[in-house]
Amino acid sequence: MKLTEVKPGLKVRILRVDRHGVRQRLALHGLLEGDVVRLKRAAPWNGPLLLEVGEREVALGRGIAEKIEVEPLTCALP
């Protein structure tokens, strides 16, 4: 699934980043494929997503988040 489809509060692992440019920029900010992140919150009106990456927090715009393929680590409660 895409990162944009993840519900806030869930932990996911980054599987793949689609665009090379985006992958590089994310890597520069210490976000690589295989990393586990938690979606903390999402800004309204298609605003950015706030991720918890280890001990840091990083905000990603939707355009960036759409390029990120992730797998959920825990099941969402119904």
Binder among 2, 54, 71, 73 for another protein (CB under 8 A): 54
Which residue is listed with tokens 């900010």? 29
Contacts with another protein by CB under 8 A: the residue count is 28
| Closest distance of CB 77 from another protein, Å | 19
Asked if residue 32 lies in contact with residue 15, where contact means CB atoms within 8 angstroms, the answer is no
CB-nearer residue toward another protein: 5 or 29: 29
Asked if residue 42 lies in contact with residue 6, where contact means CB atoms within 8 angstroms, the answer is no
Asked if residue 58 lies in contact with residue 14, where contact means CB atoms within 8 angstroms, the answer is no
- Of the candidates 26, 30, 61, the one whose C-alpha atom is nearest the C-alpha of residue 43 is 61
Which residue is listed with tokens 């298609």? 46
Binder among 1, 2, 13, 46 for another protein (CB under 8 A): 46
Contact status: 44 vs another protein (CB under 8 A):
yes
Binding site for another protein (CB under 8 A): 21-22, 25-30, 32, 41, 43-48, 50, 54-64
